[in-house]
Amino acid sequence: MFNVVLVNPQIPPNTGNIGRLCVNTGCRLHLVKPLGFDLDEKSLKRAGLDYWERLDPVIWESLEDFKRSLDPNRSYFATTKSKKPYFKASFKPGDYLIFGSETEGLPMELMKMRWSNALKIPMCKDGRSLNLAVSVSVLVYEAIRQNFDRFGECMEEMA
């Protein structure tokens, strides 16, 4: 369906929950090192429950390695720095939904590859940001909503 990319994630339970989301939505999880935890971390597995064994994430050794493989035209960057709301994007199966670390967000150098695809999740002025797993869920389900008729049997139960 879609590729969910976490650049330098720091909090194991967030990544575990996102892994569970990816299995349940047919998305592919990409983790870009350095990670703020070990992939054997108990809290990562606990949050992902038994889904983690079915996940088969793609692990990138560095941001540079990941960038070399990336098609900027098929990439969307989640950031509080953009003015474009996520629901103005037109997602297609196979697109990359890219998220930064909980503490730093995405590097500007990455988003500048295609700034027009930098997206924000609108929030009230008192809010600063959402939890990473929540943010990933918002974008993934919007992408699914836009393409629901293309997903076949995998999502039939959701109809």
The domain spans of the chain are: 3-158
Mean pLDDT for 52-60 is 89
Q: How confident is the model at residue 58 (pLDDT cuts 50, 70, 90)?
A: very high
Q: Write down the pLDDT at residue 132.
A: 97
Residue at token pair 């108990």: 42
pTM above 0.85, yes or no: yes
> Is residue 107 very low, low, confident or very high in pLDDT (cuts 50, 70, 90)?
very high
pLDDT reported for residue 150: 72
What six digits make up the tokens of 26?
A: 């047919």
Render pLDDT for 117-159 as a digit per residue (tens, 0 to 9): 999 999 998 887 899 999 999 999 999 999 988 765 566 555 5
CATH number, domain 3-158:
3.40.1280.10
State mean pLDDT over 36-58.
79
Separation CA 52–CA 37 (nearest Å): 15
Per-residue model confidence (pLDDT) at position 105: 95
The mean-pLDDT minimum among 32-41, 78-87, 134-143 falls in 32-41
Please check the confidence at residue 45 and state whether its pLDDT lies above 60: yes
Could you tell me the two tokens for 92? 């297609």
Task: Sheet containing 58-60: give its strands across.
Answer: 58-60, 28-32, 3-7, 96-99, 75-78, 118-119
Torsion of CA 105, 63, 83, 21, to 10 degrees: -70
pLDDT at 94 over 60: yes
Write down the mean pLDDT value for the chain: 90
Phi/psi for 45 (5° steps) reads: -65, -40
- Residue 10 makes CB contacts below 8 A (sequence gap 6+) with 35, 36, 37, 101, 102, 103
Q: Which residues contact 54 (CB under 8 A, 6 or more apart)?
A: 23
**pLDDT band of 53, cuts 50, 70, 90:** confident
